Structure 1
Amino acid sequence: MKLTVQDIFDLNKGLNDLGDKELPIGVAFNVSRIGRIIGDEYKTASGLRSKIVERYKEKELEDGSIRLKKDKLDEFNREIDKLTEQEVKVDIQKINLSDLESISVTPKTLGLIHKIIKEDE
């Protein structure tokens, strides 16, 4: 399956939310496997994103956020867009929507993981 780096960021967050739920063992195994694969890709992409941020960072603020160099915002955005649009090929088995019926999942979580949900026929 091909995913973009943005999909990887979304899936990582959604799978973390899903990982806190009680799931049937087969579904839990598949979610855990997918989480490991996506997690590896996330680490790589997140590291690259951090390097881009460091390159354009003006200073770190007291609240932990950062201020970017105002005269470099266009370049920063181009590099971030280029990163998030990169395609990644992953070998994962989609999750059947019916496998999630036994748990409460927020629409936000479903939105984050929709790329790996297979609707039942």
Structure 2
Amino acid sequence: MGNELTQLKILLEETIKKVEVLAAKHDHERFIEVVEQTADERDALLKELNLSEAERKANQAMIDEILRFDQQLNRMVNQYFDSFKREIILLKKKKDTNMKYTNPYSKMKSPDGAFLDKRK
């Protein structure tokens, strides 16, 4: 049973290293692929993991370390996605600002102030 724990620990350590590199590169697509792949592998390992009470007590230090790595990875992923959301919001604001300069009257819906000649 310790084998699954070791595999899980190694998986989380490697993923943290990959996530740090990809976050620095701002490689959004690869980042998401790595996170999804890790989540799938992590779920598979957790399903295989079935520790008895004695095994839990014997491996408590490793379990605590795995939990710490998992929490660290979750924080990193959440921070990255928050920064990604901020980037998207900034891009939308820039797009709206640029549209205001290129066509300032595009959002006007009423013909208020327009001169309509009713004579023929």
Q: TM-score, normalised by structure 1?
A: 0.31
The structure with the greater share of residues assigned to helix is: 2
Bigger radius of gyration, 1 or 2?
A: 2
TM-score normalised by length of structure 2: 0.31
Greater share of strand residues, 1 or 2? Answer: 1
